[in-house]
Each structure stands twice: as structure tokens, then as C-alpha cells.
Amino acid sequence: MKSEKGYALIHNKAINKSTAFTMNERKDLSLRGLLPYGVSDIKTQQHRVMTNLRRKEKDIEKYIYLTALEDRNERLFYRTVIDYFEEIMPLIYTPTVGQACNEFATIFSKPKGFYINPEDKGEIAKILDNWPESDVRVIVITDGQRILGLGDLGANGMGIAIGKLALYVSCAGIHPHQCLPVMFDVGTNNETLLESPLYLGYRHNRLERKQYIDLMKEFITAVQIKFPKALIQFEDFHATNAFALLNEYRNKVLCFNDDIQGTAAVVLAGIYASTRITRDKFTDLRIMFLGAGTASTGIGDLIVSALVKEGLSETQARRRLWFLNRKGLVVKSRNDLEAHNLPYAHDNKQLDLVNAIKSIKPHVLIGASGAPQTFTQEVIEAMSECNARPVIFALSNPTSKAECTANQAYMWSNGSAIFSSGSPFEPVDYGGRLFQPGQGNNAYIFPGLGLGALACEASTINDEMLRSSALTLAKLVSQESLNSGSLYPPLREIRKVSLEIACAVASTAYELGLAQNKKPENLKSHIASMMYEPTY
């Protein structure tokens, strides 16, 4: 315990135990008179927390309550998140975090994280010294331009970085003081925000490309000096910047883009798991995407890598993947495609989604479009006509942006669909059978991926490490989960999942010569010992 005593102690969230301080501790630490008489253990405190949490009617109110708890008593907050993960995760991350970001300036109460704006150019290394922790291991950085499916939220996007790091702590045991949320606040093109008197961000339109890239380069360079062991996670960037930054830094520093690579790994895991239900061979699958941005292309790239690993040529692998955007099928005759779309542009006539399904007959349909209700009844029925068990991923977040609901997928497919989504849906009773839709949430992958990379001090993260994450996650899906229609393990097992993925990632890094430390005799025990357990 640190040297703080008295009033300072109970206002230090990292070491405050509140009513759990014993009578002897209260005497020794000058706490007498500052706390009510009763002494509560952590279980009693959790009971109080959950009683108050469940009393609140709106999820955003629950989010604000939990945020305040974290500000008061860090250990109690994380112990409660871990022990009630299935109930609390949707409140601290998707879907509630979407509303929290929309209202970030309104509900703002206490600064969290680190903000960089264009006026900091030339001084980023200097101002990083203002951060109170020196042993930063995980940085989540966003520029707020593509927050979930909500678009440009500018500095309000800080809520995403804070939420992701809460999952690193609760899912993978990264210590809270080793986490740094960063808002790369380079302006916003959202006129509503710019005109709002409450908006807290840099009140200018977004930086042009060169200025943007130069400022990011300065930040990345400063991090290598200040926090040389830190993993950098890029989050919710516009496709153009997301791919540019990943391509620039993926082989130079320890980093990854969760929207491109984390989403890819969790979907690949779901596809692997789905073949245990459909009995289709992975290398025979035809996969169609609605949406051709960062998430879809990242998924496609990792699937191609996995198919090549299974023996297909890159050309054969790409031929199995088909993309549609708002203008229809991505084909070679189009002259409006972005660079990341070109490898997936096939020789084919232009088709809309329903006709593309009828013509190409995909086994798997993946939605990462940000466009709600685009998997219509006609779409689901078309998938059902060409598959006994159509595999449907409606990944867009938050829930309001999902391409279809779980109930719609089951109803329109007569109960044959294998459905997963990005945000949670309640179980569905259809035809006397209870379906438990799987949530293909990145939280299954990125915490364990980060933990594994840190455990072996990986120099970079590559496709093999992502593929090993996906394979491990797919193997952890029980037959019971598959029977209920879920392609993922229960979220209550998330720390076990993260540990297994961390071991797989670290093992792959050691095999590929990407680890910078010596492999421990018992890798799993070593990684488990690194995981933060919030207790008094």
C-alpha cells in the first residue's frame, strides 16, 4: 500500500477500500471519523453496487454510475466487472458505449486519458511526461472519425479508448496503471459538434493528410522513447487512415488495428466454429460481405491468409470472397473502388445483394456495413435457399445498427440460420427451440492478443498470431454452445479464453522469432501470474 493516509487515501482510487478498511487499518491509516462504523467485505460491497446498478432504468445511467465507481474504488469496480461480466460488459462497452460517446461532452465529469491536438506538434514527447505512470504497456488510440457505426464523433470518441482498456483489464488482467487511452484530437467534420457549446474537442475541421500523418508519426516516435514496451492499438479510424497507419507501422512497432485485425480474428474464429455445425470444409467456403470498409477488408485479408495456410493459392483464396458496398458488388468493371477493395474485385456482372446471393451462393454472409436492417427477409430467405444452415454475421455496432436482429434471422430462415452479431441479443425461442445467438465481439480476441504479445515482448503482431488466436477461440467453443446456436464461448469464461489466446499468441511469436525475451519453462503459468486480480 502507498504512503497516503487519511482523506488522501480514501480519495486515491487505486488503493481506496472504502468501507472495507478494518478497524485496525482505520486507526493506523488515520481514517477514524472519515468512514461509517460498519465494515464491509468486498462481496458485501459488490452486493451494494449491483443493487444500485439494477435500480437504474436507463443503460446510460448505469454507465455513468459505473464510471463514478471506477473513479472512487478501482479494485471494487474491476472485481465487480469480472464477477458480473455478462451483465456489465454491455454497459461499459457495446452497445451502451455508443450512447456514451454521443453524449460524452454532456456526461463528462473527470478527465481520463491523454489528449493530443495539432497545437502540440513538436512537443508531444515533452507533454507525455505529464502522464503520471511510467510503465505503460497498452495504449488504445482513436481519432474519433468512425466511432462504431455512428460516424465522426471527434473528441467524444475518447469513450471508446477508455472502454477498450477497461476490457483489457477485466478480460486479460492488464494492470489499470499500465493502460493509456489516447484521443488523437485532430478536429471533426461534424458540424453539430463544432456548433455545440458543450463540445470539448479541437474546434476545427479535421487535419489534411500530410499534417495528420506527421503528427501521428511524432506520437508513435515519442511512445517508442517514453514507453518502449507498450502495445499500440488503433481504434475506430476512417478506412483510409486506418489502412495507411497499419501499413506504415505494423512491421516497425508493436501495434495492431482492432477494427481491421481484431474483428478479422473473431469472425475467422466464428467461421471455423460454424464448420463444426455445417460440416462444410473451410477451404470450400464461399463468403460474402456487405460492407467493404476497414472491418470487412480486414476480415477478408485474414481469411485469405488462413486459406493460403490450408493450401490454396492467394488467387484461389481471394476468389472465394465477394464484397458489396452501397453501390453493389465489387467487380473489376467499376472505377470507383478504393485501393483496399481492388484485390477483391472479380470479373463478374454488377449485382445487388439478393441477386449476388442467388448467383454466387455463399455459405457465409457477413455484415459490417453500419447500415441497419439491410439483411432483409428476402436476403435471409435467399441465403436459406442455397444453404441448409446459412451462417449469418450481423456485426455492425451498436445494436441499432445491426444488419438484422437475431429474431429476424431465425424467423426468416425457419430456424435454420447460424446467427452471430457484434452487439448482444437476447435468447430467442423459435419453434419450441431456444437459440442463444453468439456475440462476435472483439473482446474475445484483443485482450488475449495483447496479453500474449506483452508476455513474450513481441516485436510486432502478424497474421500468424491472429490466426492462432482465431483457431484457439474456435476450439474453446463447446458442443453445448454449438447446439444452442452460438459460435462463441459464454462471455463469463472470457478470462479463461484470454489466457488461452495469450498462450497461443506468445507460442507463435516464439516459433517465428518475434519474441524478445526467453520462453519460460511453463508459459501458461507465467502468463497467468501476470494477470491483475482486483482484491483487497
Q: Do the beta carbons of residue 426 and residue 177 sit within 8 Å?
A: no
Residue 59: Cβ-neighbour burial (10 angstroms; 0-12, 13-18, 19+): middle
Q: Do the beta carbons of residue 267 and residue 288 sit within 8 Å?
A: no
Which entry of 17, 62, 164, 401 is annotated as an active-site residue?
164
Q: Looking at the DSSP assignment, which residues form a beta bridge with residue 215?
A: none
Beta strands in 21-102 (DSSP E): none
164 catalytic residue (yes or no)? yes
C-alpha cell at 329: 458488388
State the Cα–Cα distance between residues 227 and 19, nearest whole angstrom: 36
C-alpha cell at 177: 496503471
State the Cα–Cα distance between residues 331 and 324, nearest whole angstrom: 9
What are residue 106's phi and psi, to 5 degrees?
-75, -40
What are the CA-CA distances from residue 267 to residues 120, 363, 424 (Å)? 38, 14, 15
Which entry of 17, 62, 78, 93 is annotated as an active-site residue?
93
Peptide bond preceding 111 in cis form (omega within 30 of 0): no
Q: Helices 239-249 and 209-226, interaxial angle, to 10°?
A: 40
Q: Looking at the DSSP assignment, which residues form a beta bridge with residue 39?
A: none
Active site residues: 93, 164
